[in-house]
């Protein structure tokens, strides 16, 4: 019988809190724990302060079976992880001559002189299990507290990853009865998050195992189905049953799974159906056609493409009324390029590159998607300077076209 174990990751380092360092270590550890079937409910970041580290470890031990710390094991005065863990577990620090000898030998290998402050790295909490670190100078260790464990790893990503895989995973498998956690993503487009949530229903979304959750991304939504079981096969069976339920309710909005991308699926549809798309984009560079070309690897699905620096250039190129609204310009141009270049569909992106996100004005950016059967358009208040402009405009246009083509196929 697998144990239900909860873990917490505590990242230690003031540079994380100052925004000078991105904490990629916690993300990596989270994935390893997921694959082991260990629940991770909290990630904590704390600065290089002994009392705050102590408090963070105590809190983590109060709500988790396994606490994994990362960072603060170096030789400098601000490396306080050892002291914090010792205080949190009511222990003193014990000097290990063998550890100091190993550190000294490593410095000889590096042909660097070891300084006196490296001596502090040979101090570990009483009765700690030494985790040898053959790829660095910072010794890792494990402190067992009854049926719980505090595992302390160095913050250098290369060292942390090696020790996590080679030392920590075997330790956890030996000490605990672990299962697996398996996840599957269903990729959704053409529907809003609240509508999708309502269609799936609380009876599915409130499952405890497998769990079903939604995550929205720039015009797309992921449905994540996560199962915990004793074996991968059992987890797969559980996921398959829940996936069938989800597809029964929202299957027409699901365009792919796991690593599928919307542009890959859309281009594949166009190529298979021997259809082509025309594209005009302004103020966002080649954002949309770059995505389509990477997916197409030859651009046979693109009938026409043109990139302009500003929407006013589009007005001039296609000789539209200068008084026409940006939305109407997009609606006119998208139909024109469809007919002129014998395309089966078209997308027009118009964004004012001189306007940033904070302006929030009417009709600063417009997306128009067109097929002879239907057209859709959307207006945004941000301009091309916005960091989200390219993401939102390209993803919404791709998801809209995919949905329109899908509906057209269903009608046929």
Q: What is the pLDDT of residues 4-54, one digit of tens each?
A: 899 999 999 999 999 999 999 999 999 899 888 888 999 999 999 999 999
Both tokens assigned to 145: 């507290």
All structural domains of the chain, each given as residue ranges with its CATH number in brackets, are 6-175 (3.40.980.10), 180-257 (3.30.70.2860), 262-411 (3.90.950.20)
Dihedral class, residue 260 (left if φ above 0, else alpha if ψ from -120 to 50, else beta): beta
**Cα–Cα distance for residue pair 12/179, rounded to 1 Å:** 29
Pairing of strands 66-70, 6-12: parallel
Q: Answer yes or no: is pLDDT of 76 > 60.
A: yes
CB 30 within 8 A of CB 40: yes
Question: Is the sign of the CA dihedral 256, 260, 263, 266 positive or negative?
Answer: negative
Question: Is the sign of the CA dihedral 68, 70, 73, 77 positive or negative?
Answer: negative
- pLDDT, one tens digit per residue, over 281-307 is 998 888 888 888 876 665 578 888 899
Query: Against a cut of 0.85, is the pTM above it?
Result: no
Look at residue 100 in the predicted model and tell me its pLDDT: 74
Residues 6+ apart with CB under 8 A from 291: 263, 394, 398
- pLDDT, one tens digit per residue, over 138-151 is 889 999 999 999 99
Give the pLDDT band (50/70/90) at residue 115. Answer: low
CB 72 within 8 A of CB 155: yes
Look at residue 55 in the predicted model and tell me its pLDDT: 97
Task: Report the SS3 class of residue 96.
Answer: coil
**Cα–Cα distance for residue pair 379/364, rounded to 1 Å:** 7
Of 187-196, 240-249, 333-342, the poorest mean pLDDT is in 187-196
**Cα–Cα distance for residue pair 411/404, rounded to 1 Å:** 11
Who wins on pLDDT, 99 or 5? Answer: 5
For 87, the enclosing helix (H) or strand (E) is: helix 81-88
């Amino acid at each position: 019988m697998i144990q239900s174990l909860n873990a917490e990751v505590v990242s230690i380092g003031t540079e994380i809190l100052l925004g000078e360092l991105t904490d990629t270590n916690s993300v990596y550890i989270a994935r390893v724990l997921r694959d082991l079937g260990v629940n991770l409910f909290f990630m904590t970041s704390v600065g290089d302060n002994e009392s705050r580290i102590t408090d963070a470890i105590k809190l983590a031990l109060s709500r988790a079976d396994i606490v994994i710390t990362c960072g603060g094991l170096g030789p400098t005065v601000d490396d306080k992880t050892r002291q914090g863990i010792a205080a949190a577990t009511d222990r003193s620090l014990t000097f290990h001559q063998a550890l100091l000898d190993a550190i000294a030998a490593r410095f000889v290998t590096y042909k660097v002189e070891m300084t006196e402050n490296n001596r502090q790295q040979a101090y570990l909490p009483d009765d700690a299990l030494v985790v040898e670190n053959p790829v660095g100078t910072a010794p890792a260790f494990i402190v067992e507290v009854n049926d719980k464990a505090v595992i302390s790893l160095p913050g250098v990503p290369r060292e942390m990853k090696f020790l996590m895989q080679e030392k920590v995973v075997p330790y956890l498998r030996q000490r605990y009865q672990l299962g697996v956690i398996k996840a599957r993503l269903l990729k959704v487009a053409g529907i809003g998050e609240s509508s999708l949530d309502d269609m799936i229903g609380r009876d599915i979304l409130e499952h405890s195992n497998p769990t079903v959750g939604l995550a929205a991304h720039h015009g797309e939504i992921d449905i994540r189905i996560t199962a915990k079981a004793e074996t991968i096969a059992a987890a797969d069976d559980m996921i398959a049953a829940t996936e069938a339920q989800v597809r029964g309710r929202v299957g027409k909005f699901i365009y792919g799974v796991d690593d599928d991308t919307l542009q890959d699926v859309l281009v594949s549809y166009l190529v298979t159906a021997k259809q082509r798309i025309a594209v005009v984009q302004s103020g966002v560079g080649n954002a949309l056609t770059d995505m389509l070309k990477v997916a197409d690897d030859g651009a046979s699905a693109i009938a026409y493409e043109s990139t302009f620096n500003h929407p006013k250039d589009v007005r001039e190129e296609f000789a539209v009324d200068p008084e026409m609204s940006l939305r109407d310009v997009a609606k006119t141009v998208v139909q024109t390029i469809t007919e002129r270049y014998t395309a089966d569909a078209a997308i027009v992106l118009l964004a004012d590159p001189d306007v940033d996100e904070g302006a929030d004005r009417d009709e600063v950016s417009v997306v128009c998607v067109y097929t002879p059967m239907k057209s859709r358009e959307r207006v945004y208040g941000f301009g091309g300077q916005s960091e989200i402009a390219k993401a939102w405009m390209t993803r919404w246009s791709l998801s809209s076209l995919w949905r329109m083509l899908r509906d057209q196929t269903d009608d046929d």
